[in-house]
Amino acid sequence: MITSEVSYLKSSAILKPDDLVRMYRLMLLSRRFTECSLEWYREGRLPHGLHPSIGQEAIGVGACYGLRPGDWVLPSLRTTEAFWTRDVSILQQLNAEMGNAASVSRGKEASHHAGYPGNGILSGTSIVGGSIPVAVGAGLALRMQGTDHVVISFFGDGASNRGDFHEALNLASVLKVPVVFVCENNGYAQTVPASTAMALKDIADRAAGYGMPGLVIDGQDVEAVYQATQSAIQRARTGVGPTLLECKTNRFRVHHPFFEEDRSPDEVARCWERDPIEILGARLKEKGWLGQADIERMEQQIRQELEEAIREAEAVPTPTPEEVFTQIYAESLGEMGL
Amino acid sequence: MITSEVSYLKSSAILKPDDLVRMYRLMLLSRRFTECSLEWYREGRLPHGLHPSIGQEAIGVGACYGLRPGDWVLPSLRTTEAFWTRDVSILQQLNAEMGNAASVSRGKEASHHAGYPGNGILSGTSIVGGSIPVAVGAGLALRMQGTDHVVISFFGDGASNRGDFHEALNLASVLKVPVVFVCENNGYAQTVPASTAMALKDIADRAAGYGMPGLVIDGQDVEAVYQATQSAIQRARTGVGPTLLECKTNRFRVHHPFFEEDRSPDEVARCWERDPIEILGARLKEKGWLGQADIERMEQQIRQELEEAIREAEAVPTPTPEEVFTQIYAESLGEMGL
Amino acid sequence: MRLLRGNQALCEALTQEMTQDERVFVMGEDVAAHGGIYRVTEGLLTCFGPTRVMDTPISESGFVGLAVGAAMLGMRPVVEIMSCGWITVAMDQIVNSAAKVRYVNNGGMHVPVVIRTVISGSGNVYTGQELEAWFFHVPGLKVVAPSNPYDAKGLLISSIRDPDPVIFFEHKSLYSMRGEVPEETYVLPFGQAKVRREGSDVTVVAYSGMVAVAEEAAHELAGEGVEAEVIDPRTLVPFDKKTIVESVCKTGRLVVVHESVRRGGVGAEIAAAVIDSDAFGYLRAPILRVTNPGVPIPFSATLRKIVSPGKDEVVAAVRRVMAYA
Amino acid sequence: MRLLRGNQALCEALTQEMTQDERVFVMGEDVAAHGGIYRVTEGLLTCFGPTRVMDTPISESGFVGLAVGAAMLGMRPVVEIMSCGWITVAMDQIVNSAAKVRYVNNGGMHVPVVIRTVISGSGNVYTGQELEAWFFHVPGLKVVAPSNPYDAKGLLISSIRDPDPVIFFEHKSLYSMRGEVPEETYVLPFGQAKVRREGSDVTVVAYSGMVAVAEEAAHELAGEGVEAEVIDPRTLVPFDKKTIVESVCKTGRLVVVHESVRRGGVGAEIAAAVIDSDAFGYLRAPILRVTNPGVPIPFSATLRKIVSPGKDEVVAAVRRVMAYA
Ligand SMILES: Cc1ncc(C[n+]2csc(CCOP(=O)(O)OP(=O)(O)O)c2C)c(N)n1
Ligand SMILES: Cc1ncc(C[n+]2csc(CCOP(=O)(O)OP(=O)(O)O)c2C)c(N)n1
Ligand SMILES: [Mg+2]
Ligand SMILES: [Mg+2]
């Protein structure tokens, strides 16, 4: 099944006003967290900076919102939203961004590839596309263990050009693994436009090559993402098989603060015309489910949480030197490591 | 463009009776060469045995027949026919099967991955699928050099599940490389049926994922293969881009003589119902272009050529021991190799 | 005791572990219906069914990645890569996924996966490659290389039970080698070398397919009055440095034998580690290595014989170190 | 003479070679429009146009394969893999395609390709990996690792002109390092070490980013009256064993420094090769290695400092060998 237009499967999953407001808050939190992180990075308060998800917030929130405990996700380098939606706290992620002694990896890995087993988040690698087969394997385990849990694998348009994408989707389809592939197509891989990297319009069209449904979703519409993912999750849970969801989106910022922006100001400005937070906000206001005052309260709350968290994170010491040698293996090899 | 049925592009390339008789002879030669090689291997006269192409002869012959000097091919482990069609002699390939001092690699590589630069044949590797990007690179070079030459990349159904297939086809399409991808879909990778390895009927459907036309061809019909390849070659030569041709075929024998046959005798017998040599033979007889007597003469000639060649090949000495150390690098590193 | 071939010993290890631990499963090309091209997984499909014994497409990177993901969620996958010559296509999943998970999660997740692969020093330039040195170089991976059926069974069971990713090298000659193998389940600890033969004149370290070659050489040398101590480290990571250093302190001479390429091979590390150990002061001769001299394995059998180290080369090396000073 | 940063020196090498040889072309991620994330390919797109300077999809295995195929038909591709941490995905094309073509064709075809990649010992567990030892182990590959802008330019030009596949390691610190670089085109021969500093007490071998560290250490040691001879092999394959062996014959002491992991690293081979050389009889102390001790590069800068070898570790190792006997 191939859809070459923006569309999504109908689903019975109903989002109540409360849910939508919660989704709005998650997106807003992610936006502010990212902005602050970039700011704090510029100020030297954070060591590395992150890959800003600004403009793409609807994808991680919409896809993860309906997950159940016991389900798993494997975020891309940019799916910051997966963490919030799966209840990782600001403090946890700031600790991770700092690599301090309270971070989940105790300074061994950065925030964007951090794993939180307690929250159903698998750690990814820096190798673009390399985590897609790992996510499929996690799904395989869940099925072998007799559960009806599912895995969501997030990755970018660029990752879909890696051999691992191909092998993973083919394996998932032929083994009917309960996994949902969510491609965050922001049209770029670092500085290279997708049009330079592939000769097709919709990555969703790749699904047919694995005998899998592929759908194009409006990645700026959190409800659309939610509904499509829910259908795909349902398909996965019931053992029918995996689905590829291509969420069309835009990267509103440069790839990473290390980079210079090559895109024209015009092109970047056009991205902002469809801000997922604005889109949901307008809808909620229209329905009367969220007022300007509510939003301001939310903003204030978030700002306060962020400030408390950074203060708290900055008070945490760095890991102790000896820790660098632990957890390479289950046991220390000592002299047997040569 | 996707065709999910057996079909092929119409082409203006016209095969004259002479051409068809020559194609018949090439297929017959390949069949007898392979049968003899297997026999000689059993008798210990050849050291390794080959991957029998019996039943698949129409593909290599049909695809390579219309190539021009200056075009290149990169055969799969089973495209024995590419060698004959590009004028490699029986003796050359027997020397290669023996790895003797007259073999093109001087004993360094076996026949099925031999390169014959003079005949426009690139060497492949033992790594299934690994040669597909290499073939694309050859095509890229031909275009950069300002020629209108093309490359044919042969590979099996199993190879289409490798990441390199994905990356190579995507690169070829986006760079509009003059290459034709010919997938020899014999339904098996060693002992694993394609139905276990992928959840789709037609590998041609994968082409859409690269923005490339994909066509299903009757791989038992040498004329169909020829016509479809000619159209695809035309498309490549004129700079329009690559094409994926899926040739449906059957492997009439076991993967390699090292293996035991897992398929039922029934299944194997069914393969023989569509023997490409019989199919073309019947057509030629019907048209009156080839009589039974011609065929018998051909058989006899081929048998004689084979016997002369094996005798000649057996008289060639093995390479001299020192040769094992040459051509690792352009120059001998001596002590600088450590 | 009962004699088994190496492939039978490995198959028994898999069968026993799959019986006692339902988290263990097997994945690879031709491993299910066909029983493995070297018959190591024979009968497993019948015993354990298609959900635990899976034939895969030709997607080594993909299915190693799957195994890593499954292991992260508590399974114990054993995957087969039919030849070390194309483990090259799965390096990323092995090195960046499997080997790093424990570290980046500070132990919060780990990857108990076993990757079985076949080495041989025969075949051709591709399939003849023995690349254990690559994995040896990567923190986070354990590397196992049994030399006989008894060790193969015990080490495979230990590998499956080990909490870390293990690259398990099976030399083709192991499959047809017969040896005594107990029926019951047993484990062999990692990092314990086996002194295959005691001797006081020279220490010969060899692993995998070269242990038999070293033993043959030792036998011949004994006829000349030279007593070689043959040591098989059995696991390369962890590595039993102590046993080897003690032996060299005793003999004062060391020859290292491996079938893989010399430059940057495991033998270089063994030599370098011994040099930087208590044995330094005891060394009476240079440390020699008997290895592939740096040649791709050619197709011609005549040429191939020149490349792979055999008994004669080991004997010659020992004679050289014995002649020293 | 004119001072250039390392990335400028490399860019100049590419520009000059592309100007004088139209077979040379460049391929990789972000190399064209962006000019390379480390600015090594800056301006090439403007000079040579999109057919000779190509941005690729994230398909390292694919485009390395393309480069091999193009090289087989007479082109001279230079491809960039942005971090050695994911050269893992291209191992098969490098080792089985590029490295074997000459041999399997008995010289009838060959692969003059250059694969540039970046090492750093910083970043994280993935990007911090320095895997030169893997390539060092593979017959058919040449391995180059310049330590300064002058060598970088000359060695890159030599690499492009070399008929064999070259893996060209660029340490991140090289890009910002300034050094004298002649404007004209020049080549540096492979297999010729550079004695960076003469000394009679101890030989210190270091390459790539560690040469500067070794020189710093030598400077400090000179203050203590210890004269270290610092040697940069510059190319690891071919390797200038002679210069190092002669130096060790003179000094009697050897310390090898590399930023990559110790176990199975290039340093092991250097030590093992020296042991099995004329220098054996001259060695007055064990050969020490100063390396990453076998730890993935952690994200935390505090932790990272512990892992990467610095001046102090080199000084300490030299003091240890000086104290010996
Ligand atoms: C295999 C590999 N090649 C290159 C890189 C460098 N790199 C990091 S992020 C990135 C772009 C990824 O693009 P995409 O998958 O579209 O995700 P996005 O950054 O747009 O969210 C690249 C090329 C890498 N990390 N891994
Ligand atoms: C990467 C890799 N995996 C496994 C193998 C072992 N192997 C050799 S041929 C083959 C089957 C190839 O199947 P297909 O591509 O369909 O070609 P066919 O043999 O059917 O012609 C396999 C699995 C290999 N050579 N390379
Ligand atoms: Mg993108
Ligand atoms: Mg097949």
Instruction: List the alpha helices (DSSP H) in chain D.
Output: 6-20, 44-48, 60-72, 91-92, 101-104, 132-136, 149-161, 172-176, 210-223, 241-251, 266-275, 301-307, 311-323
Q: Which residues numbered 93-112 in C keep a CB inside 8 Å of some CB on B?
A: none
* SS3 labels along A142-172: HHHCCCCCCEEEEEECHHHHCHHHHHHHHHH
Question: pLDDT category, B273, cuts 50, 70, 90?
Answer: very high
Nearest CA in chain D to B110: D104
Poorest-pLDDT segment among B103-117, B146-160, D126-140? B103-117
Whether pLDDT at D121 is above 90: no
The ipTM is 0.98
Whether pLDDT at A4 is above 50: no
How many angstroms separate the CA of residue B335 from the nearest CA in chain C?
11
Nearest CA in chain B to D98: B134
10 Å Cβ neighbour count for B43? 8
Whether pLDDT at D242 is above 90: yes
Q: What is the pLDDT of residue C203?
A: 98
Is A159's Cβ below 8 Å from some Cβ in C? Answer: no
How many angstroms separate the CA of residue B211 from the nearest CA in chain A?
5
Whether pLDDT at B245 is above 80: yes
Ligand 2, pocket residues at CB < 6 Å: B 76-78, 126-128, 155-159, 184, 186, 188-190, 251, 255; C 29, 58, 60, 82, 86, 89
Is D89's Cβ below 8 Å from some Cβ in C? Answer: yes
pLDDT tens-digit map of B122-143: 999 999 999 999 999 999 999 9
Residue B11 burial (C-beta neighbours within 10 Å; 0-12, 13-18, 19+): middle
Is A212's Cβ below 8 Å from some Cβ in C? Answer: no
Ligand 1, pocket residues at CB < 6 Å: A 76-78, 126-128, 155-159, 184, 186, 188-190, 251, 255; D 29, 58, 60, 82, 86, 89
Chain C interface, best mutation among D110, D138, D143, D205, by max C CB count within 10 A: D138
Question: pLDDT category, C325, cuts 50, 70, 90?
Answer: low
How many angstroms separate the CA of residue B275 from the nearest CA in chain A?
29
In chain A, what's the furthest Cα-to-Cα distance? 68
Q: Write down the residue that tokens 């994200």 correspond to.
A: D299
In which region does residue D229 sit, left (phi positive, over 0), alpha (psi from -120 to 50) or beta (all else)? beta
Using CA atoms, how far residue A113 sits from A60, A75, A126, C296, D83, in Å, is: 15, 8, 7, 39, 17
Is D15's Cβ below 8 Å from some Cβ in A? Answer: no
Q: What is the pLDDT of residue A111?
A: 84
pLDDT tens-digit map of D267-319: 999 999 999 999 999 999 999 999 999 999 999 999 999 999 999 999 999 99
Structure tokens at D154: 């000359």
C128 closest CA partner among C29, C268, C313, C261: C261
Secondary structure letter of residue B318 according to DSSP? P
Report the sign of the C-alpha dihedral through residues D108, D113, D119, D124, in that order. Answer: negative
Whether pLDDT at A6 is above 60: no
Structure tokens at B19: 């051409």
Is C269's Cβ below 8 Å from some Cβ in A? Answer: yes
Burial D95-131 (b: 16+ CB within 10 A, else e): bbbbbbbbbbbbebbbbbbbbbbbbbbbbbbbbbbbb
pLDDT tens-digit map of C185-222: 999 999 999 999 999 999 999 999 999 999 999 999 99
DSSP per-residue codes, D261-282: ESTT-HHHHHHHHHHTSGGGGG
Question: pLDDT category, B110, cuts 50, 70, 90?
Answer: confident
Whether pLDDT at D220 is above 70: yes
pLDDT tens-digit map of A81-92: 999 999 999 999
Q: Write down the residue that tokens 């673009």 correspond to.
A: A128
Q: Is this structure's pTM higher than 0.90?
A: yes
Nearest CA in chain B to A129: B163
Q: Which residues surround ligand 3, an ion (CB under 5 A)?
A: A 156-158, 186, 188
Whether pLDDT at A300 is above 70: yes
Is A161's Cβ below 8 Å from some Cβ in D? Answer: yes
Q: Which chains touch D (3 or more CB pairs under 8 A)?
A: A, B, C
Give the rounded percent of residues in chain C with a pLDDT score beyond 70: 100
As a whole number of angstroms, the distance between CA C245 and CA C237 comes to 16
Whether pLDDT at A187 is above 70: yes
Q: What is the pLDDT of residue C121?
A: 85
Tell if the CB–CB gap between B133 and D25 is shorter than 8 Å.
Answer: no
As a whole number of angstroms, the distance between CA A208 and CA B157 comes to 16
Residue D237: which H helix or E strand, with range? strand D235-237
Whether pLDDT at A271 is above 70: yes
pLDDT tens-digit map of D163-192: 999 999 999 999 999 999 999 999 999 999
Chain C residues touching residue B334 (CB < 8 angstroms): none
Question: pLDDT category, D325, cuts 50, 70, 90?
Answer: low
Cβ–Cβ < 8 Å for D177, D149: yes
Q: What is the mean pLDDT of residues A273-298?
A: 97
As a whole number of angstroms, the distance between CA C71 and CA C235 comes to 22
Whether pLDDT at B6 is above 50: no
CA angle (B179 as vertex; D24, D89 as ends), nearest 5: 65
pLDDT tens-digit map of A103-144: 999 999 988 888 999 999 999 999 999 999 999 999 999 999
Q: What is the pLDDT of residue A338?
A: 87
Residue A5 burial (C-beta neighbours within 10 Å; 0-12, 13-18, 19+): exposed
10 Å Cβ neighbour count for C143? 26
Nearest CA in chain A to D129: A126
Q: Write down the residue that tokens 């923005």 correspond to.
A: B211
Tell if the CB–CB gap between D242 and B122 is shorter than 8 Å.
Answer: no
Chain A interface, best mutation among D88, D299, D307, D308, by max A CB count within 10 A: D299
As a whole number of angstroms, the distance between CA D92 and CA D110 comes to 17
Question: pLDDT category, A8, cuts 50, 70, 90?
Answer: very low
Tell if the CB–CB gap between B161 and C86 is shorter than 8 Å.
Answer: no
In chain C, what's the furthest Cα-to-Cα distance? 63
Structure tokens at B202: 């037609």
Cβ–Cβ < 8 Å for D82, D75: no
pLDDT tens-digit map of A61-87: 999 999 999 999 999 999 999 999 999
Nearest CA in chain B to A242: B199
Q: What is the mean pLDDT of residues B299-328?
A: 97
How many angstroms separate the CA of residue C318 from the nearest CA in chain D?
14
Whether pLDDT at B3 is above 90: no
Q: Which residues of B touch A (CB under 8 A)?
A: 2, 161-167, 170, 173-174, 196-201, 205-206, 208-212, 241
Coil/strand/helix, residue A185: strand
CA angle (A250 as vertex; B206, A119 as ends), nearest 5: 85
Residue C10: which H helix or E strand, with range? helix C6-20
Q: Which chains touch A (3 or more CB pairs under 8 A)?
A: B, C, D
pLDDT tens-digit map of C133-147: 999 999 999 999 999
Cβ–Cβ < 8 Å for D1, D142: no
Whether pLDDT at A3 is above 80: no
Q: What is the pLDDT of residue B1?
A: 35
Residue A273 burial (C-beta neighbours within 10 Å; 0-12, 13-18, 19+): exposed
Structure tokens at D22: 């139209």
User: What proportions of chain A, in percent to the nearest 5, are helix, strand and coil?
Assistant: 50, 10, 40
Mean pLDDT of chain D: 97
- In this structure, what are the phi and psi dihedrals at residue C92, rounded to the nearest 5 degrees? -60, -45
Instruction: List the alpha helices (DSSP H) in B154-204.
Output: 163-174, 194-197
Q: What is the pLDDT of residue B312?
A: 98
Q: What is the pLDDT of residue C200?
A: 98
